[in-house]
Structure 1
Amino acid sequence: MAAALSGPKTLYAVLDAPVCGSPVDDVFDILADEYFYIQYTGEVIKASVYYPEDMGPQTSYIWEQSGDIRESMSAETYIYDDIPIDLTGCFVTNPDSLSSSDQVKLSENTKAFVSPETAYYYPDGIGEHPNDMEENCGLTRYKVYFMKSGTSLSFLAWIGDNEISFNDDNNAFTNIVQHGDITDLTYMMESGEVGSVILLWLFVILIIFVLIYTSAYKDEEETPPSKKKDKTKNNKKKKKHR
């Protein structure tokens, strides 16, 4: 990493780099520990009316994404303990989620509820009949994600000229993968805009090769038989002269 930073800016794949960062504010203040990254992704129960054949209107209820995403990334993050790196604005793949009641803290007089089994936080509780979707229509919940200092990240980045930077014009360069490996980064390269550009250039090169080959073949076909014979005779004369 030291050699990469001191050299010219080059695209690198960084694998399993240990990361630490200052703790961020917990917007719901329910997590018992401190994390340098926290995300709450909101969902809400919505009603949907449909009209099956030979029947009147029917209503179904389902959890849907609400678009309410509350994300906090520490502005002070470091890899290998002392190398600063700006991870704000990056998309986090494979973060940790709730798995134990020990990870949360709730006051005794609150109606809020946390389900470690499903990693969801219900700020307004779950009602008297949690499985009754119609009764709970409009209820909100949040999927809880986080990352703690000491974890490891893998990512693609431009490193050199004493800085590490991400390319915001390409999604592959703003993805960081917790505990990721080269396979994860390769997948992002192939599925992202970079992969599309590479495939486009390969296609262009193939077309150019085909055009050159076709042109050469056409010139060969258009050569009169007499000239082909003359070429053969000249070749034979050269051999005799030798």
Structure 2
Amino acid sequence: MFELNHKKAVVTGGGSGIGRSIATLFARQGAVVHIVDISEAACAEAVAEIREAGGQAHGHACDVTRQDAVHATFESIGPLDILVNNAGIAHIGKADNTSEQDFDRVIGVNVKGVYNCLHAAIPRLRENGGGVIVNMASVAAWVAVAERFAYSTAKGAVMAMTLSVAKDYLQDRIRCNSISPGRVHTPFVDGFIAKQYPGKEAEMFERLAKTQPIGRMAKPDEVAALALYLCSDEASFITGSDYPIDGGFITLNS
């Protein structure tokens, strides 16, 4: 079950964190993985790791906010079966203290970046007889999270785009779903804590972990496992849905 043999998959933001775990797992399950990341070094490192484990992977340094660059990248990749729109950035701030520059930056990556990849990938999925898209949303699209104004706005848009794409391309045999993680323990989290709370890293990590009712943060591999299921043939009856993976954050925190 959950094999991706003979499938070609694109994972954006696949050089680190959740995206890297998805790319690694997909390759382990037989997919030929194309990692798209703004960092050429992160791409190369992830590709090398996958190849060393016996998987097939290729790296593409690309800024997803630039449609011309995205189309050139997808043109070089060719026909595909799976797109995972994982590339994204975070931002902390309320509506009145989020600068225009920061708002544009978050929307550029988290919304326009997803649109650009959809724009480039959907014709190739259609020509290939169909396929699967998974977009990375967030619990912030479901419930209020303090001081995440721009991020919540962007992830709400990702969830709406997921529904729109699922509806519009049903007859093209293209399935589209999204995943809404809670807090996930990635290098970004460690870096954020170290920058914002120097000397109090352990205390703040524990505090952030406990915001999930289950008492810990998710592991990137756990999110990857859900992405694998949604992109596999076993999930062929699923489209137009969002899947929270949040340790009870949405339903048990109220």
Taking structure 2 as the reference length, what is the TM-score of the superposition? 0.21
Q: Which has the higher helix share?
A: 2
Q: Relative contact order (alpha carbons < 8 A, sep ≥ 6): 1 or 2 greater? A: 1
Greater radius of gyration (CA): 1
Taking structure 1 as the reference length, what is the TM-score of the superposition? 0.21
Q: Which has the higher strand share?
A: 1
